[in-house]
Every structure is written in C-alpha cells, then in structure tokens.
Chains A and B, each alone.
Chain A
Amino acid sequence: MIDGTIAELAQALHARRISSEELTSEALARIERAQSRFNAFITIDRDGALAAARAADAALRKGDGGPLTGIPLAHKDVLMTAGLNTTCGSRMLADFVAPYDAFVVEQLRKAGTVLVGKTNMDEFAMGSSSETSWFGPVRNPWDPAYVPGGSSGGSAVAVAARLVPAATGTDTGGSIRQPAALTGICGLKPTYGACSRYGLVAFASSLDHPGPFGRTAEDCALLLRAMAGHDPRDSTSIDRPPEDYAQLLREPRAAKVLEGLRIGLPKEFHGEGVDAEVAAAVEAAIAELQKLGATLKTISLPAVKYSVPVYYVIAPAEASSNLSRFDGVRYGHRANDFKDLLDMYKKTRAEGFGAEVKRRILTGTYVLSHGYYDAYYLKAQQVRRLIADDFRRAYGECDVIVGPTAPSAAFKIGAKTDDPVQMYLNDIFTIAADLTGAPAISIPCGVTRDGLPIGLQIQGNHFDEARILDVAHRYQQATDWHQRVPPIEHASKSS
C-alpha cells in the first residue's frame, strides 16, 4: 500500500481502507530495515510519528482531513523541526535540537503529514553526492555502490526506495533536482520566494530554495500547495494568493494534451559534455512531448556556460558569511582544548566543519576579502544578471525549457571526492535556475544499460510551477519511467 502515490494513499485514508498508523508503522519498519543499506536517515522519530499518525487518524475519522492528512514524510536535516535533532549532516550540529519548526515543516504539519524522521545529506547542503555527511555517505537504492546525488540524497533515497511517499529537500545549486534524477523520482525547485526559508539553516541565502520530492509530478503539486505561502519572517518570501498547483493537471484535454506548448531546447544543454545514454533518453522524452502536441524550438542561452563559476563565487561568499555564526558560543560544537577566545573559535570551526565546507568558507572569504570584492563577487553578480537576461529573452520565444537534469547518471561512491571541480560540474544544468530563481522540476525519463535512472529537467518562468508540473504530469500519463522501482525487497511496482 505504501508504494502508492500520495494521491492514491489519500483516497485509501479518506475511505478508511487503511489508517495512517498502519501506513506510518510500515514506513518506520522499512526505514529501520533499510538504514544499514542506504543510510538515508540521521534521525528516526518513531514515537513522534506514531502519535502524529494517531492524531491524523482522529482527524480523518471526523472528516477533517485534507489531501495530505496522515501521509508519512521525511524532512531534510537542514530544516528545523521543533524538539528533534537538526544536524545539517555536520559534526558542528551533531547534537543540536531545533527550538522551532521551519516554515515548510510547520506548513506540512498543519496539512496533517506525519513526520517520520530527518534525512541524511551533504554537510550543510554543500555537495552533489551526499558523501560529505558527518554521519556517513548515503547510498543509491538502484545500486548501493553508487551515490544518490546530493545534497538532498537522503530525502531522494527515502522516496526512491519506497520508505516514504514524500520528502522535502532544499535546492541551492541543484540539490533537489540532481538527486531526484539520480534516484529516479521527481523533485521540484519552486520559484525563489514561493516557499519561505524561515528555519532552513542558511547556506547561500539568495539561492536556497525548499521544495518537495515525490514519485509523481502530481504528488509534487500536492506537496507544494502545502509548502508555499507568504511568511513575514522571511523578508524574501513573496506575498501572492495561494495557488492550487494540481488544478491544471486535472483539467480534461483533447487528444493532443500539450497542444500549443512551445518547448525551448537550449543548444548549450544538448551538446558536448552530456553522456550519450543521457542524451538519448532526453531526446526520446522530447519526442514524446512532441507527440503530445508540443512544438520545439532551438534557443540559445549564451551566458549559461558561466553558471558554475558564477555559482562558485556567490554561493561560497554567502556561505562564508552565513556559517560565521558557528563559533562555539551560541550553539553546536565547541572544542575542548584552547588557549583563548580566538583559539576557541579556530579550533571549534576546524573540528566542527568537514573538508568541503571549509573549502567553501575559504573560497567565500577570499572572494569577499579586501581588494578582491570587485574582481570576484561583483563580477559574478553581473554575470548572474547576464544569465537571467538570457532566460528572460528565451521565455519570449518558448513556454518551458527542457534538457537533461545532470550530465550523467549516478557515479560510484568515492569517484569524485578528491576532485571538487569534477563534483561541481554535476550541477552544470541545474545551477542556472537557482541563479535566476525560476522554477524547475526533474522527472525520470529513462535508465542506463547499468540500470541507473536518468532525469529530464523541465524549467519554466518565475511562478510558472503549475505549467511545468502539468507538462511533467502529462508526460507521466503517457509513459511509465516514474513507475520503475529499484531492486529492493519490500517495493512492488504500482501506479
């Protein structure tokens, strides 16, 4: 039963064919069994989950439930959860108990979801493989020798391995979409400002986006509806009327369900640097979208090739500032041996942060330091504008932009850990949407000869989530890539 989509589970819950307590117990049993294999979780909250499930069942009995009431879900461990550990995958916060809920956590609680635990991730969300966690690497359920992508790897694996039907993640350079692609599920990065960042432990404030993981585009729409909304506690939260993102998906259509849709194919996303199997799967998906009535147009985003260098100035600059709060005074780790205050700061931070986090803090400190600000930080912000201008022009000619989510399928654990630049290049197709703030989704569109999933990215203009979700949904109505299940015992194929 738990292998069903949120939409299917909600029907069963409302019809009282199953209780949330039963669903949650099954989720917990699977999570506990899978933990030694995939290491997807950092904290499992069995008691809290069962209590929340019983409360959801009581609401459902009274007829008070909504579309997410009683649905078990996991949060990425960078989102604060009151009374539960929130570690950010770091030794620095290994014992930190969050004093309050993040906005999206609060919203999903209000919607009646059942929080089962917190998922493993790259330390402070800095990574593309979920290998840098203090709590050990996350493994890909399609083959545990491979990474699940990152940084929200634990959340992606929790959904892909059918441990929970839904999870949250955060996307700063691709950290929702790339792991969704590498584990064969759907992951949506909403428009910047659609989901409040309140209670999301900050990495790069101008780029951090909370968003949902689900098995289908429809499930992502249901989750986003609950997660989005204005929040005065985040000054960049956008005040706009609530939107039913799933409404368009339910709209009846003529045979050509995507008639009139103009798909932009950036030549920069469809050339060199894309693995041949990925390119072939993406081509086939585009042909399918065309069969559904969409028209294709080759477009050009000339500045997009600078996305990675722009990102590796801006994100570390913001991170160096945000992570300065971890000083061993107000929360988190403090070194045992030090000779004075300065030495305490330095030893605390040297011990508390892992190698990749330190590299990014150092990079950020350098680009913001005296004499380098204009050459690096200001320059990167100017090129960020050029990239955003390219997309603005493109959306004059097309409605959505389609291409691969990542240049290759999953790689082996350890393959890129010694070469940060190779790791960074995984996000070459996802970073631009974080820089511009526009929404993008990754959905499964194939598997490699080795049986590893391939992701298709559909990007849209600001606040066009409903449209990209609709395109993804119509594709999923015509294909079955999203129904493929990794080779694990408990999961069965279902719609």
Chain B
Amino acid sequence: MALTLDDVLRIAHLARIDIDAAAAREVHAKLDAIFTLINELQAIDTTGIEPMSHAQDVSAPLRDDAITESDHHADYQRGAPAVEDGLYLVPRVIE
C-alpha cells in the first residue's frame, strides 16, 4: 500500500491544509518512510482479536439530563478571530 503524491494532495485537501507541489513532494518522502514503519503491522495475524479503542475497557458513564453549565459564551468568544453580536464571523458562504 504505497502512498502516492496524489494521495498526499488528496489527504491534504481532506485535512484542510494548503500545500503546494514542492511541499507535497517533501511531505511525500517523509510520509513514505512513516508508512514503511506502519506497514509492519500488516504481517501480524489479528484474526478474531477484539479492537482496543481505549486504555481501559470501561463503559461510558451516564448522568442526569440536567443543565450543569452556566453561560460562558462571552468568555469563550474572547479568543475568536472575528465576532459580532455573539456570533462567529466567517467569510460569506451564501451569495
């Protein structure tokens, strides 16, 4: 499963990271070495092994469906690049 330069451009788009052709070639070489390491896993027989998604096999705790938080939105929006009237501003998406 070798990674191609087209794969690099495709995943950079999926990851929303701008990348030019020269940078993509450099990243490709490094990712190729990383995937050579990762591909060692393909040799292992894992038939019937339950995937381990967490360090502890604990079930998700439940709590009462009650409001526990107070309103912090002004605090949390203080670090936003552009805010107006309590709303986050983004470039126009609907003409």
Contact = CB atoms under 8 A, between A and B. Distances in A.
B38 A376 contact: yes
Interface size class of B (residues with CB under 8 A): 35 or more
A54 B89 CA distance: 43
B38 A313 contact: yes
A366 B56 contact: no
B51 A378 contact: yes
Contacts of B37: 308-309, 312, 421, 424
Interface string A190-204: 001100000000000
B41 A350 contact: no
Given A206-B54, A385-B50, 4 more contacts: A238-B56, A309-B37, A341-B91, A362-B8
Interface string B48-87: 0111111110101101000000001001111111100000
B85 to A, nearest CB: 16
Given A306-B41, A330-B80, A375 B54 contact: no
Given A379-B46, A383-B46, A386-B46, A206 B34 contact: no
Given A306-B41, A436-B55, A362 B31 contact: yes
B79 A97 contact: yes
Nearest to B20: A350
Given A99-B79, A238-B56, A421-B33, A350 B51 contact: no
- Give the secondary structure class of B's interface: loop
A369 B30 CA distance: 19
Interface size class of A (residues with CB under 8 A): 35 or more
A97 B78 contact: yes
B21 interface: no
Contacts of A386: 44, 46, 49
Contacts of B51: 378, 381-382, 384-385
Contact of A346 (B18, B31, B39): B18
B27 to A, nearest CB: 7
A340 interface: yes
A96 B37 CA distance: 35
Contact of A309 (B1, B17, B38, B75): B38
A328 B55 contact: no
A310 B17 contact: no
A327 B61 contact: no
Given A312-B34, A313-B38, A375-B42, A385 B52 contact: yes
Contact of B15 (A238, A332, A365, A375): A365
B52 A332 contact: no
Interface in A377-395: 378-386, 388
Contacts of A420: 30, 33-34
Nearest to B13: A346
Contacts of A349: 15-18
Contacts of B81: 328-329, 331-334
Interface in B2-50: 3, 7-8, 10-19, 27, 30-31, 33-42, 44, 46, 49-50
25 contacts: A95-B79, A100-B75, A193-B56, A193-B58, A206-B54, A309-B40, A309-B41, A331-B79, A332-B81, A338-B91, A340-B93, A344-B90, A345-B16, A346-B17, A359-B34, A362-B8, A366-B31, A372-B1, A378-B51, A379-B44, A382-B49, A386-B46, A388-B52, A420-B30, A424-B37
Nearest to A364: B15
Nearest 5 Cβ contacts at the A-B interface: A437-B55, A381-B51, A192-B55, A334-B81, A350-B18
A331 B38 contact: no
A96 B78 CA distance: 9
Nearest to A384: B52
Interface in A64-79: none
Interface string A264-300: 0000000000000000000000000000000000000
Contact of A366 (B11, B41, B77, B79): B11
A429 to B, nearest CB: 16
A329 B56 contact: no
A398 to B, nearest CB: 20
Nearest to A330: B80
Nearest to A343: B18
A437 B27 CA distance: 32
A206 B55 contact: yes
Q: Which one of B1, B44, B72, B88 has the greatest number of beta carbons of chain A within 10 Å? A: B44
Given A99-B79, A381-B51, A365 B88 contact: no
A347 B16 CA distance: 8
A363 interface: yes
A421 B34 contact: yes
A362 B16 contact: no
Interface string A175-194: 00000000000000000110
